[in-house]
Amino acid sequence: MAHVIRFGVIGLGDFGERHVQALKSIAGVEVVAVCSRTRSRAEEVAKRYGVKKWYTEREKLVKDEEVDAITIATADDDHVEPTILAADAGKPALLEKPMATTLEDADKIIRAVKRSNIIFMVGHILRFDKRYRIVWKMSRDGKLGRIGSMYARRIGRQKAASIFLNRVSAPVQTGVHDIDIMRWIAGREVVQVVGFAARRMNYKYPDIFWTVMKFDDDSLGIVENGFMLSDSYPHFIDSQLEVIAEKATIQILTPGEYFSIYSSEGADKPDVTYWPRMNEHAEGALRDELEYFARCVAEGRQPEVIPIEDARRALEIAIMAMKSAETGAAIHI
């Protein structure tokens, strides 16, 4: 990058802090401001990572003349306001997935982005996971042949259920990852959706969910997701992708990096794919995603890896799956 891109980060929960870690490891990028509505948290993160400015008001961060671009890692149902603020300020913005929790909110975001013509991307991180990128490339190069079915699993620990399931459904919060990646790999459109839910804990939304999709070439996609892993599970998530196709069978497993640690503190399977921390910075797919976005900002071009329409479509399918589970009927698109 020819010049330094100065970032502000809005939302300083666990993932917002990971944004700060990853951005600080990218050459040609500087984190100049962070924002949390909780003053103590904003001060804490700014001090920990040597960020010179912190805010509790989002509008002040987006209007800061030293901020060239913004990443937004607020709660899933709190994406509209900070994105519109960024758009109105003319600042490029990367928004964490899902782009919203309702289609109405997604469309508000799209209208604001298109009205302002800012550089914008929704952070679907799996598109930057090298394993998934290899499968996508194989599909584009004809090395898979016709796909028969795809199965994806993404289950989090039970303690995460209390964070998410009173605010957002499992297919929208985590299933949207795999819905998006299946459309991306297949290069096909979903024409029918059926959803199935199981409720074992007392939250607003079910804790286990299956989304069954039929594509326009009659291939199938199944996404299993939710939050029911034991809290003692030695990895933050259990996920996988299996693709059954004419010319290849593919499996991706996480944790599946064949890296385990057994110590006096117990068993651990450290993340080496998405945001492993090295010297207080994050590497892996999150860093690659943010570096790509920063490069787009530096070059003045819209990101091509994750079109805004794809982010909306993945959300739409996830919402349709929830509706199907509630009504007991398949939904034709």
Pairing mode of beta strands 237-245, 147-157: antiparallel
Q: How far is CA 331 from CA 112, 161, 181, 301, 324, in A?
A: 29, 27, 20, 37, 6
Residue 1: the pLDDT is: 56
**Do 176 and 97 contact (CB within 8 A), yes or no?**
yes
Q: Do residues 49 and 108 share a domain?
A: yes
Residue 234: the pLDDT is: 86
Rounded Cα distance between 97 and 80, Å, is 12
Residue 280: the pLDDT is: 66
Q: Do residues 67 and 216 share a domain?
A: no
pTM of the model: 0.93
Domain of 115?
A: 5-124+280-302
CATH code of the domain covering residue 189: 3.30.360.10
Q: Do residues 183 and 328 share a domain?
A: yes
pLDDT digits (tens, 9 = 90+) for 194-231: 999 999 999 999 999 999 999 999 999 999 999 999 99
Q: Is omega for the bond preceding 98 within 30 degrees of 0, making it cis?
A: yes
Q: State the burial class of residue 59 (Cβ atoms within 10 Å of its Cβ: 0-12, 13-18, 19+).
A: middle
In a domain, 307, yes or no: no
DSSP string spanning 62-97? Answer: HH-TT--EEEE---TT--HHHHHHHHHTT--EEEES
Residue 256: the pLDDT is: 67
pLDDT digits (tens, 9 = 90+) for 66-111: 999 999 999 999 999 999 999 999 999 999 999 999 999 999 999 9
Element (H, E) at 267: strand 266-268
Residue 257: the pLDDT is: 64
Q: Is omega for the bond preceding 276 within 30 degrees of 0, making it cis?
A: no
Parts of the chain with a pLDDT under 70: 1-2, 256-257, 278-280
In a domain, 308, yes or no: no
